């Protein structure tokens, strides 16, 4: 049995997969906000609960925002800032009594979707998380690319390309920079920019719903979001030239993105045509957690 954990900014999800990839159990709990010890305990509780329910132990893979530092093993670059500087792999291993494999959540998305999802059979896949934070992951021929600094695909903390008047002033980012792609394209970023432009603080879901009923301010915010997403992804295409870009995270459910963004990215891509396909994650919000389970091979045993 392989167990995957998706450790997100607002929720922690677990999935248990059988040898054939079938789902044996799946559940989620709220993430203890800003509470590192509580987060470790919540992950351990989910694992122990599922194993007790199924009567067997499993390997454990965890997809999370950020990545372990190559130098220290401590977590870096996490928008769930309580994880930064913490020995998450060691603490989870101690709590669970076995080795735990960690990977960036967008890497897990890319791995899952390249395996049997929206990008199955594609050579080069870029997986995008647009949710509480913004991240990216790369899978080439079904293998995750982490990079020598463990930051391959960390697209969300590049600056937004070609900032225009409506993009200014550059929003500050938790990472210490300003104008990061994450500050524009995350759910909180969309809400903050809508509030700045309209004076009304709405959740992303409310912005989408109001735009659908003809609210002009909300429609303007979504059109600005689409143009920013297109400019940002055009930079990825110019460097990586992926076969497929797969979107995951809460904002990936916005159906209009898959028609508007490929049209809007064309002027920014250095090619006479753009064959890259933009697709929602076939496994939806289960894609990241499935990819986390796949951090262990099928024949692996928990240690």
Q: Tens of pLDDT along 20-30?
A: 889 999 999 99
Which tokens hold the place of 293?
A: 């389970």
Residue-averaged pLDDT of the chain:
94
pLDDT digits (tens, 9 = 90+) for 32-90: 999 999 999 999 999 999 999 999 999 999 999 888 998 999 999 888 889 999 999 99
Percent of the chain scoring above 90 in pLDDT: 83
**Residue 126: Cβ-neighbour burial (10 angstroms; 0-12, 13-18, 19+):** buried
- Written as one string, the DSSP assignment of 244-275 is EEEEESGGGG-TTHHHHHHHHHGGGSSSS---
Check whether the bond before 82 is cis (ω within 30° of 0). Answer: no
Of 185, 89, 96, nearest to 135 by C-alpha is: 185
Domains and CATH numbers, the chain: 2-107+286-293 (3.30.420.40), 121-280 (3.30.420.40)
Reduced to 3 states (helix: H, G, I; strand: E, B; else coil), residue 77 is: coil
23: phi then psi, degrees, rounded to nearest 5: -80, 120
pLDDT band of 132, cuts 50, 70, 90: confident
What is the value of pTM for the model shown? 0.88
pLDDT digits (tens, 9 = 90+) for 152-172: 999 999 999 999 999 999 999
Regarding predicted confidence, which is higher, 33 or 300? Answer: 33
| Strand order, beta sheet including 100-104 | 23-30, 11-17, 2-7, 59-64, 100-104
Question: What is the distance between the terminal CA atoms of the chain, rounded to a whole angstrom?
Answer: 13
């Amino acid at each position: 049995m392989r167990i995957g954990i998706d450790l997100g900014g607002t929720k922690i999800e677990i999935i248990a997969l059988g040898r054939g990839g079938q789902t044996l159990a799946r559940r989620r709990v709220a993430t203890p906000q800003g509470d590192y010890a509580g987060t470790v305990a919540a992950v351990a509780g989910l694992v122990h609960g599922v194993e007790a329910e199924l009567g067997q132990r499993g390997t454990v893979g965890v997809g999370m925002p950020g990545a372990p530092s190559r130098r220290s093993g401590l977590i870096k670059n996490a928008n769930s800032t309580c994880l930064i500087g913490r020995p998450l792999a060691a603490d989870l291993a101690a709590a669970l009594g076995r080795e735990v494999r960690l990977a960036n959540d967008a890497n897990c998305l890319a791995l899952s979707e390249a395996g049997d999802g929206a990008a199955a059979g594609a050579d080069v896949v870029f997986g995008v998380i647009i949710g509480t934070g913004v991240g990216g992951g790369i899978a080439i021929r079904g293998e995750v690319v982490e990079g020598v600094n463990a930051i391959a695909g960390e697209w969300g903390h590049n600056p937004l390309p070609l900032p225009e008047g409506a993009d200014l002033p550059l929003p500050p980012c938790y990472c210490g920079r300003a104008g990061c792609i994450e500050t524009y394209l995350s759910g909180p970023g969309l809400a903050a920019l809508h509030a700045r432009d309209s004076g009304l603080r709405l959740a992303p879901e409310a912005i989408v719903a109001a735009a659908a009923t003809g609210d002009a301010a909300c429609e303007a915010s979504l059109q600005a979001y689409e143009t920013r997403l297109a400019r940002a992804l055009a930079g990825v295409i110019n460097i990586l030239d992926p076969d497929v870009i797969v979107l995951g995270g809460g904002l990936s459910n916005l159906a209009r993105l898959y028609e508007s963004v490929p049209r809007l990215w064309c002027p920014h891509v250095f090619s006479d045509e753009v064959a890259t396909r933009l697709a929602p994650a076939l496994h939806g919000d289960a894609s990241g957690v499935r990819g986390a389970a796949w951090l262990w091979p099928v024949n692996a045993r928990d240690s």
